[in-house]
Every structure is written in C-alpha cells, then in structure tokens.
Amino acid sequence: MKEGMSLFEVLVGMLLIAIVALIVMTGVGSVLTSMSATDSIDRASMLQIYTARRLYLLKRGSQITELANEINSSLSSQYPKIKQIEIESSNSFYRKFKVIIETKPGKEISFHVYQGF
C-alpha cells in the first residue's frame, strides 16, 4: 500500500479547487453588479418622487432652473441628477412639467409632473 498522493492526484485536486473558486467568484461578482444596478434604480425613483413633490409645491412665478440646481447641489452623489426641467404646457387649471433625470452618463429617463391650481 502506498502512502500519500501522487503528483497527478494533487494537480487534479488543485484544478478542481480552482474551478470551484472561479465559479464562486463569478457568482459573487454578478450579485454585486446586480445590487449596484438596483441601488441606482432606487436612487433614481427617489429623486423622481422628491422632484415631483417640489414641483407640485412650486409657486407660479418661481424659477424652474433654480429648483433643478438646488436639488442637484443637495445630492450627495454625482448620479442620478436632474438634467432638465421644462414646462410643456400651461393653462389656467394646470401646468405640465417634463423632467429629465440622468441616471448614468448618456442614460436618461423622463417623466411628467402635473401641477394643479
């Protein structure tokens, strides 16, 4: 009976350990990427809600660009940020705002806010 393992058995064992480690690390990396994307979506939706509330409470003669700059300066991170706020339509009953939020460089989402009088 021989004692210990042969060189071939050691190499096969190390190869199997390396393959398992590679699979685990790939899984961990994809989970972290997914969590980062989810966090970005959560921050963008929170910015949408906050911006809509601020626009809804905005007085009729106020400057919209000042509001966008104020919100962007109060954010702790660089993205998401408000890229543009514009009035699409206005009458004596409501104003319709179009808000564009830049979630990443080159990626934008837009939504509308209605302000009643």
Q: Where are the domains of the chain?
A: 8-116
Tens of pLDDT, residue by residue over 54-106, are 998 888 777 888 889 999 998 877 889 999 999 999 888 999 999 999 988 89
Would you state the structure tokens that stand for residue 54, as one six-digit string? Answer: 């601020």
Contact 90, 113 (CB under 8 A): no
How does residue 117 score in pLDDT terms, banded at 50, 70 and 90? Answer: confident
Question: For the chain, how many helices (H) and strands (E)?
Answer: 2, 3
- Does the global pTM surpass 0.85? no
Would you state the structure tokens that stand for residue 16, as one six-digit string? Answer: 């199997």
CATH fold for the domain made of 8-116: Pantoate--beta-alanine Ligase; Chain: A,domain 2 (3.30.1300)
How does residue 49 score in pLDDT terms, banded at 50, 70 and 90? Answer: very high
